[in-house]
Chain A
Amino acid sequence: MAGKASTFNAFYVAFGGEPLHLDRYIERTRQSRRRVIVMDGDGLTDATLVELCETSAEDPRTIVVDNAQELKGHEELRRYVTARNPIDQSVILVSIVRSETLSDLWSFVASKGKCLEWKKAKPWDKESYHLDFIREEATLNAVTIRKRAVEALLQSTGPDLYRLANEIKKLAIYAGSAGEITERHVAEIATQTAEAEPNMVAEAVMAKDTERALQLFSVLCARSGEAQYGAVVHQLMKHVENTTVIRSMFDKGMSPASVAGLLGQNLWRFNNAVAPTARKHELRSLVRYMGQLCKLDLDVKSSSPFKRTMIEMVILSITQ
């Protein structure tokens, strides 16, 4: 009788830029039936780790090394990984590398076992990545969530996965027997922790999303006061300038593919984020905005007491 192929792995390497997923992976590992020893890689040497792995013990155990990227030395660990008997199931080594890429040592260890990666969302897939995460979290908490509630939650809480997970837990309890999270629930109890950066304000302005642009600008003002006015104007200038170039190319009949190629942008992102924004504006209006921003630049650098109002006026002028 042919034996079933073994799926046992002695080495697991988990890495990526999303701490929530890595922490959850450690939690899942802790819940296994084996004895689990969790160690911090900071201050640990590979010789100590190998010693711990080689110590004979009767019960099978899993050794988790968190912050494995901080581990000192590599010779001993390489030797151990190379010489390890593949059918020996007594010790499983789980390494948690908290970085976006793997060093040579951990790539080598991963090549001898299993590698798990949790990438941090890239700027262009940020939105869909987080929307999917919110839906999955809601399912985990045995509730459903409306589409508009998903968007509202992302807007109010921001892209931090830990915060989103906590908010969904809270909202699931609040929704209770209804079993569905609505935008009303989000408005009532979700904490406003969204981060606001000058470029986010500019993006919202160019997307003609007045409410979001003003909300982000207000958060920014509350957090940094006048210090960020210059940065907001600079970002607005940058975005208006880019949009003007793209719009002028479209007006000349160039295809999105050729415009994206000329600007050196990812075509998928260009089609989904940049081009729709450019199509919301007309070339003449964009040139007018440029003039307004030049004036605003001067005003913001002057000693005027109404700088915030002036910026808000320009935001309104562009978004409406």
Chain B
Amino acid sequence: MLSEIQHQEAATRFLRRVVSGALVSPLLLIGPSGVGKRHSLLCMMREVLCTGIRASNCLCAGCYQVKRGLHSDIHVLTADKHIDVKQIRALIVEAQTCPSASKFSAFIIDGADRFTIEAADALLKTLEEPPTTSRFFLLAEDLSKVPLTIRSRCGAVTYRRLPEDFILSIVHRSEENPGKALVYSRMGSGSAGKAVDYCNAGRLALRDQVVKALQASVERDLWAVFSLVDSMKNDLELAAQFMEQVIEDVLVCPLDPARATNVDAIDSLLALGAKVSSQVWIRVARKVGALRHSANMVSLNLSFQLKTVLAESFV
């Protein structure tokens, strides 16, 4: 139910209007991944389909089907890299059919910032004049990557980053160690989904490798640096993200250690900060940030690029 959604009051207000039928135009839900965009839509659909007690623990057929992702009136389209025109055409055909149980079908497109040009063009007309029994919800992390034409046809709803204590309470369900739980919740940077994912995948090991790589770079041990970067080859994008976080902590720690993300590694961070001037760390962080930005647009040899950034900065 929508009452379950916490810390996203503005978004919930919009979704209530969709439930009441006062809002039929497509919505563009913007916010980092893991802040509850898709979850709030499913809660909204439970509100529409529930025939039971209308509470979070309701076990009616509608609620059960929505929870299990089995309801025939909810269509979710997502893609790892790009959403292409074929997927959109199939979705448009489905949008012409009547809903089976509810007053409208929900079409959730997760990745409005990953449309190919043809896919975005194909969707425009349907967004302008959606079938009366279809509601479109487009989800995006980065508004700047959503085509302008798509943006202009949707009502934008912004999701906020979640507060740390709320994420911590969620992470605590899967991580008992309070120190680690705090690090994971801060690593999520306001996203409960990311924090839980990192926790379940044990991403502190990757963070430790990143710290080791930085230590080896400071000691100019290129063999160790390159080997460590090679060992992270499947998670290089995440490693680059962690590297930025660790460097930020290296800069923050001498001023206020309590504000650092990696609170369990304060000693290592202070040691890193003592060995190299903050100017160098700022330069490295900028380069890593630029690298992550480029890697989003072109398929780069990220391993080599990361090695180069570390070698150039410390040799």
**A and B, one complex?**
yes
Interface segment out of the listed A3-11, A72-80, A292-300: A292-300
B: number of interface residues (CB 8 Å): 17
Chain B residue at smallest Cβ distance from A263? B223
| Contact A290 to B222, CB < 8 A, known contacts A298-B294, A298-B298, A301-B299 | no
Tell me the residues in window 275-320 of chain A with beta carbons closer than 8 Å to chain B beta carbons: 283-284, 287, 290-291, 293-294, 297-298, 301-302
Contact pattern, B 273-315, Cβ under 8 Å of A = 1, otherwise 0:
0000000000000000000001000111100110110011001
Q: Which residues of B contact A298 (CB under 8 A)?
A: 294, 298, 300
Is B54 among interface residues, defined by CB-CB distance under 8 A? no
Tell me the residues in window 243-278 of chain A with beta carbons closer than 8 Å to chain B beta carbons: 244-245, 248-249, 262
| Contact A248 to B223, CB < 8 A, known contacts A290-B312, A298-B298 | yes
Shortest Cβ distance from residue B215 to the other chain A in the assembled complex, whole angstroms:
16
State in angstroms the CA–CA spacing of A8 and B222 once bound together: 61
Decide: A284 and B315 in contact? CB cutoff 8 A.
yes
Is B226 among interface residues, defined by CB-CB distance under 8 A? yes
Q: Which residues of A contact B203 (CB under 8 A)?
A: none
Picked from B220, B221, B223, B307, the residue with its CB within 8 Å of the CB of A290 is: B307
Is A145 among interface residues, defined by CB-CB distance under 8 A? no
Is A61 among interface residues, defined by CB-CB distance under 8 A? no
| Contact A294 to B311, CB < 8 A, known contacts A248-B220, A248-B222 | no
Chain B residue at smallest Cβ distance from A251? B220
State in angstroms the CA–CA spacing of A245 and B228 once bound together: 13
Q: Which residues of A contact B222 (CB under 8 A)?
A: 244-245, 248
State in angstroms the CA–CA spacing of A302 and B300 once bound together: 11
Q: Which residues of A contact B315 (CB under 8 A)?
A: 248, 283-284, 287
Decide: A241 and B307 in contact? CB cutoff 8 A.
yes
Chain A residue at smallest Cβ distance from B229? A241
Q: Is the interface of B mostly helix, strand, loop or mixed?
A: helix
Q: Which residues of B contact A96 (CB under 8 A)?
A: none
Chain A residue at smallest Cβ distance from B227? A245
A: number of interface residues (CB 8 Å): 19
| Contact A290 to B308, CB < 8 A, known contacts A241-B226, A301-B299 | yes
State in angstroms the CA–CA spacing of A293 and B304 once bound together: 9
Is A21 among interface residues, defined by CB-CB distance under 8 A? no
Tell me the residues in window 32-52 of chain B with beta carbons closer than 8 Å to chain A beta carbons: none
**A244-B311, A297-B300, A298-B300 are known contacts; what are 13 more A-B pairs with Cβ within 8 Å?**
A234-B301, A237-B304, A241-B304, A284-B315, A287-B312, A287-B315, A290-B304, A290-B312, A291-B308, A291-B312, A293-B304, A301-B299, A302-B298
State in angstroms the CA–CA spacing of A123 and B93 once bound together: 59
| Contact A245 to B226, CB < 8 A, known contacts A287-B315, A298-B300 | yes
Decide: A287 and B300 in contact? CB cutoff 8 A.
no
Picked from B221, B223, B226, B304, the residue with its CB within 8 Å of the CB of A297 is: B304
Shortest Cβ distance from residue B314 to the other chain A in the assembled complex, whole angstroms:
9
Q: Which residues of B contact A245 (CB under 8 A)?
A: 222-223, 226
Shortest Cβ distance from residue B95 to the other chain A in the assembled complex, whole angstroms:
36
State in angstroms the CA–CA spacing of A258 and B42 once bound together: 61
Shortest Cβ distance from residue A306 to the other chain B in the assembled complex, whole angstroms:
17
| Contact A237 to B312, CB < 8 A, known contacts A248-B220, A298-B294 | no
Decide: A290 and B298 in contact? CB cutoff 8 A.
no
Query: What are 16 A-to-B residue pairs whose CB atoms are below 8 Å?
Result: A237-B304, A244-B222, A244-B311, A245-B223, A249-B223, A262-B223, A287-B308, A287-B311, A290-B308, A291-B308, A291-B312, A294-B308, A297-B300, A297-B304, A297-B305, A301-B298
Binding site for A on B (CB under 8 A): 220-223, 226, 294, 298-301, 304-305, 307-308, 311-312, 315
Shortest Cβ distance from residue A215 to the other chain B in the assembled complex, whole angstroms:
26
State in angstroms the CA–CA spacing of A290 and B299 once bound together: 18
Shortest Cβ distance from residue B252 to the other chain A in the assembled complex, whole angstroms:
28
Chain B residue at smallest Cβ distance from A242? B226
- Among A241, A262, A301, residue most surrounded by chain B Cβ atoms (within 10 Å): A241
- Among B294, B300, B307, B311, residue most surrounded by chain A Cβ atoms (within 10 Å): B311
State in angstroms the CA–CA spacing of A10 and B180 once bound together: 76
Decide: A294 and B299 in contact? CB cutoff 8 A.
no
State in angstroms the CA–CA spacing of A279 and B304 once bound together: 22
Tell me the residues in window 215-257 of chain A with beta carbons closer than 8 Å to chain B beta carbons: 234, 237, 241, 244-245, 248-249
State in angstroms the CA–CA spacing of A241 and B306 once bound together: 12
Q: Which residues of A contact B311 (CB under 8 A)?
A: 244, 287, 290
Q: Which residues of A contact B299 (CB under 8 A)?
A: 301
Q: Which residues of B contact A262 (CB under 8 A)?
A: 223
State in angstroms the CA–CA spacing of A301 and B298 once bound together: 8
State in angstroms the CA–CA spacing of A283 and B312 once bound together: 10
Shortest Cβ distance from residue A255 to the other chain B in the assembled complex, whole angstroms:
14
Shortest Cβ distance from residue B47 to the other chain A in the assembled complex, whole angstroms:
47
Shortest Cβ distance from residue A211 to the other chain B in the assembled complex, whole angstroms:
27
Shortest Cβ distance from residue B315 to the other chain A in the assembled complex, whole angstroms:
5
Shortest Cβ distance from residue B135 to the other chain A in the assembled complex, whole angstroms:
40
Decide: B223 and A237 in contact? CB cutoff 8 A.
no
Shortest Cβ distance from residue B231 to the other chain A in the assembled complex, whole angstroms:
15
Q: Which residues of B contact A293 (CB under 8 A)?
A: 304, 308
State in angstroms the CA–CA spacing of A187 and B311 once bound together: 43
Nearest first, the 9 A-B pairs at minimum CB distance are A248-B222, A290-B308, A287-B311, A237-B304, A287-B315, A294-B308, A245-B223, A294-B305, A301-B298
Chain B residue at smallest Cβ distance from A289? B308
Q: Which residues of A contact B305 (CB under 8 A)?
A: 294, 297
Q: Which residues of B contact A290 (CB under 8 A)?
A: 304, 307-308, 311-312
State in angstroms the CA–CA spacing of A234 and B222 once bound together: 19
State in angstroms the CA–CA spacing of A293 and B301 once bound together: 10
Q: Which residues of B contact A234 (CB under 8 A)?
A: 301
State in angstroms the CA–CA spacing of A262 and B227 once bound together: 11
